[in-house]
Amino acid sequence: MSKAARCTHCGAPVTQSRRNYRYTESGLSNVVLQGVEVADCPSCGNSDVIIPRLVRIHQAIAQALANSPARLTGEQLRFLRKHLGFSGDQLGSYLHTDKTKVSKWERGEDLIGQASDRLVRLLAAALDKEMRPAIPAIAEHLPSITDDLGKNWELHVDVATLQTSFVSVSRAA
């Protein structure tokens, strides 16, 4: 909050605060970043969201998804595939399937197979150097993954500490 920050839209001075921010730009509808700096412009109503250390945050999200308590959703699978830098074809070749199947999983037309779900988690950790130390914990977590289709989970990420937690939320919204 040092120098007078200005609106990127109209240039007027902004009011800065920290709050929780639903990070839909990640492609994930249920990720909430905690303690994000937001600059609100009283003149034009524009809000600038300042997300620091985006790469680290994406790594924290990928690692949390690998430890997700429930079967991966389509958008979570897509996030992990992109984190790996894989095309649908490439991921399909690791999972002994094809991009049509991968794309059906990602669009939610089909539930990801349970063995593929587990393999994707391990791949995400094994092929990202930063995540490799997490592999044993992810492997130990595999037997406790539930199908849990009746529940919605929100992933909360503290942008200061990069700590993540899954919070069960009511389905009605």
The pair of structure tokens assigned to 19 is 């709050």
How far is the CA of 82 from the CAs of 4, 42, 77, 89, 129, in angstroms? 37, 37, 9, 12, 15
Cβ-based nearer residue to Zn ion, 7 or 155: 7
**Footprint (CB under 5 A) of Zn ion, residues 45-74:** 46
* Residue 9 binds to Zn ion (criterion: CB under 5 A): yes
Are 66 and 131 a contacting pair, CB within 8 Å?
Answer: yes
CB of 49 to Zn ion, least distance (A): 14
* Residue 41 binds to Zn ion (criterion: CB under 5 A): yes
Going by C-alpha positions, the residue among 63, 53, 56, 76 that lies closest to residue 131 is: 63
If you ran DSSP here, which 8-state letter would residue 27 be given? T
The residue within the footprint of Zn ion, chosen from 44, 50, 54, 149 (CB under 5 A), is 44
Cβ-based nearer residue to Zn ion, 17 or 146: 17
* Residue 7 binds to Zn ion (criterion: CB under 5 A): yes
Which residue's structure tokens are 């609100």?
40
d(CA 82, CA 62): 10
Cβ-based nearer residue to Zn ion, 12 or 50: 12
Q: Could you tell me how many residues of this chain bind Zn ion (CB under 5 A)?
A: 8
The residue within the footprint of Zn ion, chosen from 10, 49, 50, 137 (CB under 5 A), is 10
Give the binding site for Zn ion (CB under 5 A).
7, 9-10, 12, 41, 43-44, 46
